[in-house]
Chain A
Amino acid sequence: MSNAPHILVIDDEPQIQRAIRTILTEKGFKVTTASRGEEGLTLAATNKPDIVILDLGLPDMDGVEVCTRLREWTQCPIIILSVRDSEQDKVAALDKGADDYLTKPFGIEELLARVRVALRHSTSRQGAQSKVIKAGPLTIDLAWHIIKRGDEEIKLTGTEHKLLSYLAANHGRVLTHQNILTQVWGPADADHTEYLRVYMRQLRKKLEADPEHPQYILTEPGIGYRFIADE
């Protein structure tokens, strides 16, 4: 168990710490907890965890600040915990380099799914990234620019293609509006959320069986989008 993934949980609420520690330990992770921002930063520096789970509402410092300071020296995935209705804070933390977020109260499957995605991304950062992504009946070949549903090829426009490629390459992760707009349209269009709305709707119509109830291109209300691929 010595090379079990190490997770650092920074949260000031003992009940949440207890719940997360119990569940993650049960799932074979090594868990360290900190209840203050400074303590968390110190533990992160000494223990070099594989994932940091960070609550945005800490007593001593702003969670976004912790995020920024972690990003100064480490690329380890950061998962944000926060309460509902603080979309602005979540977006701020995500734009400052956090990888994902969870809204309290959260289900444990959600937590584990986020942890799995984070681990996969931390390994793919180090090694080769898979070039073909599968999501249900969809196959997205990032290298050859081919998208298929089953055997049938789906035709996309240039922008749609760029958008889908970016989403698929980051599958499992939440991508903020601004992030996607900057990457796909360029920094000048970073505020044009309406582009995203329209193109995402077009993409869903082409890719999803039921565009109103999407399975692969998910909306994260108030935050951004997430592409769900097969594990």
Chain B
Amino acid sequence: MRRSIFISYFWNYIIALGLIAFITALFFVLRDMLDTTLIALLYLIPLGLITALWGLGPGITSAVSTFLAFNYFFIPPFYTFTVHHPTDVVILVVFLIVAIVISQLVGRMQTSLAAATAREREATQLYELSAALAGLHDDHTIAQILAKQIQDVSHGEAVELNITGTQPFAFHLPNITPPTRSPEVIVPIQAAREVLGEIRLWKAAPEILSGEKRLLQTFASQGALALERARLVQAESRAQVLEESDHLKSILLSSVSHELRTPLSTIKAAASSLRGNEVSWDSAARPELIAAIDDEADHLNMLVGNLLDMSRIESGALKPKREWNILPEIVGSVLARMRHLASEHQIEVDVPENLPLVSVDYVQMQQVFTNLVSNSVKYAPEKTVIHVCAFVEDKSIHVLISNQGPQVPPEHLERIFDKFYRITAADRVTGTGLGLSICKGIIEGHGGRIWAENIPDGLAFNFTLPLIWEGAPPPQLPIDTEIE
């Protein structure tokens, strides 16, 4: 590269001198028609041109050689460098001064123009980089864009960005592994407080121009700004999530302590009265107290189970163990178990036997039905109907559990599946406020959808379960019907 620059420089001189020689020859042919002063004036044209085209060096060289040629060929006595006539001396001196001054002026203008263009290009590149980096919050994308811009500007062999941090990584361009030799340029990506990584540039040229290096440094600091901004945004959103979960936890604590205290009080009262012999052995209250302890212990267990499920759903640990199951069986088992709880309501079931098998987690699906039915039982007035039905609807099973309970204002319909969300004040209705959000977690874990809607005489919970599982439709079973 250096060699070729040198050669191109050299060529500039040759061409400049060649041009002067050509002009001189031309003037020499036409010397009878031209006055000496006119020749001097005309010589200034190629001089200006040469300087404008190839810079100050060739310009000055041409000025000097023009001066010599002018003197040699056009100032009498001809073909010598001696000058007899004083006017000619003046012409020559003036010519030399004018030629050099023109060369210098044009050359200087040329250099400053080149510098201005370079600065403008740098500014454009910087602007492009900062525009591309603006609004990015992801280290990987930032590294990608930075590397691409560096590659575009430097035309190096390869660029690698090593980004440090909690998850350090390297990104390089082009997509082949960078050369094994150590890079020619390493620029640290220095942020205000720490080094966020480094730029490694492989460029075969033996010399990286200082302007290029400066540009790289500017790029590095732009990259550092972008990375730092990304990290701040991440930290901020983490802080926001933490704050939110902190808030939820405090709701949880108050809700849970309220919920847990109720059964605990019952258990404590019943157990202590039994223990203190305050209830005689044959009293009718005795079995009732014992039943209360038993029931409330179950209730406590259910509450704790809900909390555990919720934390599992939150942490993504509640993975359904999916198998092909019979939906009517699940519904039947849940309703049989809830018979006692729902004794004041009339439960109508319309889940046909010939539904295809569904791939669900048996236990989790039982819980969904339990929670939705018990929610209906809790809010719908006694003696009303709770309707459970299921049908196939384009590649999924649609389940509908409706009750004749109070409607939910439309703006709350979606939010009732949020954790701890309740429309009724917490002290009016029991429960952790987790039942519906657990349902949502489970159904979504199965790839289904759950929603609530107001129906003319009450509220309906809907959910869908996909029929296709792992690309397979529900299996048809080889049933033997032959009786032994």
Contact = CB atoms under 8 A, between A and B. Distances in A.
B149 to A, nearest CB: 51
A85 B308 contact: yes
B483 A157 contact: yes
Nearest to B367: A221
22 contacts: A85-B308, A105-B301, A156-B484, A157-B480, A157-B483, A157-B484, A158-B480, A161-B484, A193-B325, A194-B325, A197-B323, A197-B326, A198-B477, A198-B479, A201-B326, A210-B336, A212-B333, A212-B336, A219-B329, A219-B362, A221-B363, A222-B321
A207 B368 CA distance: 28
Interface of B: 294, 297, 301, 305, 308-309, 312, 321, 323-326, 329, 332-333, 335-336, 339, 357, 361-363, 366, 475, 477, 479-484
B324 A197 contact: yes
Nearest to A147: B484
Given A158-B484, A197-B329, A213-B332, 15 more contacts: A85-B308, A85-B309, A87-B321, A155-B483, A157-B480, A157-B484, A159-B480, A193-B323, A193-B324, A194-B323, A197-B357, A201-B326, A213-B336, A219-B329, A219-B333
A157 B301 CA distance: 42
Interface residues of A, number: 27
A194 B308 contact: no
A107 interface: yes
Contacts of B321: 87-88, 222
Contacts of A195: 477
Given A105-B297, A197-B325, A87 B363 contact: yes
B386 to A, nearest CB: 16
B456 to A, nearest CB: 29
Nearest to B364: A222
Contact of A107 (B294, B308, B361): B294
A145 interface: yes
A100 to B, nearest CB: 18
Interface in A43-74: none
A62 to B, nearest CB: 19
A67 B399 CA distance: 42
A27 interface: no
Contacts of A194: 323-325, 357, 475, 477
Contacts of A87: 321, 363
Nearest to A212: B332
B479 A221 contact: no
A201 B324 CA distance: 13
Contact of B362 (A84, A105, A161, A221): A221
Nearest to A205: B353
A157 B325 contact: no
Nearest to B297: A105
B484 A155 contact: yes
Interface in A182-219: 193-195, 197-198, 201-202, 210-213, 219
B362 A222 contact: yes
Contact of B481 (A88, A105, A157, A197): A157
A107 B290 CA distance: 13
Contacts of A202: 479
Contact of B305 (A85, A156, A159): A85
B291 to A, nearest CB: 12
A196 to B, nearest CB: 9
A222 B323 CA distance: 10
B425 to A, nearest CB: 30
